[in-house]
Amino acid sequence: MRKEQEMMELVLGIAQSDERIRAVYLNGSRANPSINGDKYQDYDIVYIVTEISSFIEDKKFPQNFGTPLIIQEPHSPRPDTHHAWLMLFQDGVRIDLQIENKEKNSFGEDTLTIPLLDKDNILKEISLSNDKGYWIKKPTEAEYAASCNEFWWCLNNVAKGIKRQQLSYTMRMYMETVHLELETMLDWFIAVQHNFELTTGMWGKHIKSYLPDELYESYKKTYLSAEDEKNSWQAIFTACDLFHLLANDVGKRLNFTYAQSDEDGMRAYLNMIKNNE
């Protein structure tokens, strides 16, 4: 896998030698001073260019960065002024490259931004790169209450799905509603202890760094099994216990009211379904 210095020299070398490319900047995790990087990080690069079409028409353009294993070109909401290539190369390096029209670029809209090259002095002055734009937002009491209610309410669907042996429905209902609210509460639990001035990363990928070991171990046990109904029920009740702890802590710190009656009602229902009553 190529080293960071080699990759940055390649990215800038291509830009310097191509008159269509007028500026370059870096986004993403490699522009985040708050995290410890590793070799698996993507290179989120943006070229500001004079026009878009010639890059898109040149099907060999991505090969300037190496031999691709696979490339994705996401649909752009601004096809006349923006295009992207997500590129994974033979040596394991990944570059997410965007090109933007010089007249309609988005430089500085992302707080994680580092300017790398500016041939025409078109890049405006911005703050030093930081993750403030990704900080977890403090919930209102209504948002807190809705999250709690959604967690408890949707468990009735999960319980029925288990009993009906409806695997795909059960997994999606659990992961895309119930577990999603658990992860939201985990975020709030972590953020409230840091004055809501941090991010846990995309989909909470950094939560392990912020949770006590015993809570993280509990969290790991909240994932359902596709093969063992007993394990699935254990995971659900572990998630219930963990949610109770997190939501009560967040509620107390923010002076919000926790709806214990919702929890009591759903726990009674879960036990009824589990025990075939």
d(CA 210, CA 179): 19
Question: For the whole model, what pTM was predicted?
Answer: 0.89
- Residue 229, pLDDT score: 86
- Count of the separate structural domains present in the chain: 2
- 85 Cβ partners below 8 Å, 6+ apart? 61, 62, 71, 72, 73, 95, 96, 97
- 4 Cβ partners below 8 Å, 6+ apart? 30
Do 210 and 163 belong together in one domain? Answer: yes
Which of 82, 110, 133 marks a domain boundary? 133
Taking only the tens of pLDDT, the chain with its 277 residues reads 999 999 999 999 999 999 999 999 999 999 999 888 899 999 999 999 999 999 999 999 999 999 999 999 998 777 788 999 999 999 999 999 999 999 889 899 999 999 999 999 999 999 999 999 999 999 999 999 999 999 999 999 999 999 999 999 999 999 999 999 999 999 999 999 999 999 999 999 999 999 999 999 999 999 998 888 889 999 999 999 999 999 999 999 999 999 999 999 999 999 999 998 6
Do 59 and 99 belong together in one domain? Answer: yes
Do 164 and 95 belong together in one domain? Answer: no
Which of 92, 107, 133 marks a domain boundary? 133
Cβ neighbours, 10 Å, residue 162: 21
Looking at residue 70, which CATH number applies to its domain?
A: 3.30.460.10
Helix axes 213-220, 229-254, angle to 10 degrees: 140
Residue 197 identity (one-letter amino acid) = E
Range of the domain at 229: 136-274
Do 52 and 116 belong together in one domain? Answer: yes
- Residue 1, pLDDT score: 93
Residue 110 identity (one-letter amino acid) = D
Do 208 and 245 belong together in one domain? Answer: yes
- 112 Cβ partners below 8 Å, 6+ apart? 27, 28, 29, 31, 32, 129, 130, 131, 133, 134
Do 16 and 78 belong together in one domain? Answer: yes
Which of 112, 133, 154 marks a domain boundary? 133
- Residue 80, pLDDT score: 81
Do 209 and 126 belong together in one domain? Answer: no
Closest CA to 246 of 208, 206, 267, 215: 215
